[in-house]
Amino acid sequence: MTKTTRMMTISELAVRRGSIKDIEEITNLENRAFGSHAYDYPSLRYMLGIANSVTTVATIEGRIVGYATVFFRKNSRISHLESIAVDPDFQGTGIGRVLMEEVDRVSIERNCTLIVLETFEKNVSALKLYERSGYMAKELVPDYYHIPYGGSRNAVRFEKRLQVK
């Protein structure tokens, strides 16, 4: 694939609400983006299928090139960014930023005042994306990720306050 410039990608990019119908494409993208740390099919089916979540997909010419899933809880004004990934062919072209704007939008739509997320403490691209999207690193969470037969990894918890009327 020829290298996609930031301008080209943004002009061709569309976002829409994802659904369980997108599971095959999202599973494929998830595996390509996360490798051995990817969510498995049943976890993605749960994320896409449960009532209290919103998945946004980013597409180029109809192909899914990124997704973000936000969880909501009943009687809570805190949303949780459960997962975000961009196809490795398109990383670094601004799609993550566009998805993060959608995360804000869907959270505001649900009257949330705070978005919370966790990421691996050494995931440089994710750390940068969240900082650039207005999140503040709040705490280090020891052993947040449990890796089967591989020990555990620390996470950084980020928060972003939303201006809701």
Ligand X SMILES: CC(C)(COP(=O)(O)OP(=O)(O)OC[C@H]1O[C@@H](n2cnc3c(N)ncnc32)[C@H](O)[C@@H]1OP(=O)(O)O)[C@@H](O)C(=O)NCCC(=O)NCCS
Q: Does residue 126 touch ligand X according to CB under 6 A?
A: yes
23, 47, 95, 156: residue in contact with ligand X (rule CB under 6 A): 95
Q: Does residue 129 touch ligand X according to CB under 6 A?
A: yes
Q: Does residue 4 touch ligand X according to CB under 6 A?
A: no
Q: Does residue 104 touch ligand X according to CB under 6 A?
A: no
48, 85, 103, 112: residue in contact with ligand X (rule CB under 6 A): 85
91, 116, 137, 154: residue in contact with ligand X (rule CB under 6 A): 91
Q: Does residue 84 touch ligand X according to CB under 6 A?
A: yes
Cα separations in angstroms, 117 against 33, 59, 139: 18, 23, 11
Residue nearest to ligand X (CB): 96
49, 92, 142, 150: residue in contact with ligand X (rule CB under 6 A): 92
Count the site residues for ligand X by CB under 6 A.
20
41, 123, 137, 145: residue in contact with ligand X (rule CB under 6 A): 123
Written as six digits, the tokens of 149 are 């037969």
Q: Does residue 97 touch ligand X according to CB under 6 A?
A: yes
Residues in Cβ contact with 163 at an 8 Å cutoff, skipping those fewer than 6 apart: none
CB of 3 to ligand X, least distance (A): 13
Q: Does residue 29 touch ligand X according to CB under 6 A?
A: no
Give the chain as a DSSP string.
-PPPPHHHHHHHEEEEE--GGGHHHHHHHHHHHHGGGPPPHHHHHHHHHSTTEEEEEEEETTEEEEEEEEEE-TT--EEEEEEEEE-GGGTTSSHHHHHHHHHHHHHHHTT-SEEEEEEETT-HHHHHHHHHTT-EEEEEEEEEEEETTTEEEEEEEEEEE----
Residues 39-78 that bind ligand X (CB under 6 A): none
